Amino acid sequence: MSSTGVLMRPTSLEQQKEDSMEFLVEFEVEVPAGTPDAEVEQRQRAESAAAAELAEDGHLVRLWTRPLGGDGTTAIGLYRANSEAELDDLLAGLPLGDWLRVTVTPLAAHPNDPATASL
């Protein structure tokens, strides 16, 4: 509580990190045949902005690409959310959302994780 008697909730990214779950999310983009190049480019720009906002809000922690056979690539992201339902809502709001095939894997801490070994 603050000195005025008001209950104060932590709002820092660190508190959000402690209270949230982590998810490994794999994306494959499937652009519908016949989609104009201008629409693809516009959605890709919007997707980039959305990813930056998710990172700023503490939801998108890391993002990688993994080459696939042929011309394809897969994006793999480490996300944080309070629940799988919240994550689903975040992913559904992505500009490329209706072109994505998404696989979500909830993650749990491992007892031998070097990041927590010194805690």
Here the CATH number for the domain that contains residue 97 is 3.30.70.1060
pLDDT by residue (tens digit) across 83-95?
A: 999 999 999 999 9
The tokens of 102 are what?
Answer: 């998404």
Q: Which domain holds residue 74?
A: 17-107
Share of the chain above pLDDT 70, in %: 81
pLDDT by residue (tens digit) across 71-82?
A: 667 999 999 999
What mean pLDDT is predicted for residues 13-28?
Answer: 78
Domain contains 47: yes
Domain count across the chain: 1
pLDDT of residue 42: 97
Question: Across all residues in the chain, what is the average pLDDT?
Answer: 86
Domain contains 98: yes
Domain contains 26: yes
CA–CA gap between residue 83 and residue 117 (Å, rounded): 25
The tokens of 112 are what?
Answer: 């031998």
What mean pLDDT is predicted for residues 54-80?
Answer: 90
CA–CA gap between residue 61 and residue 55 (Å, rounded): 6
Domain contains 56: yes
pTM greater than 0.85: no
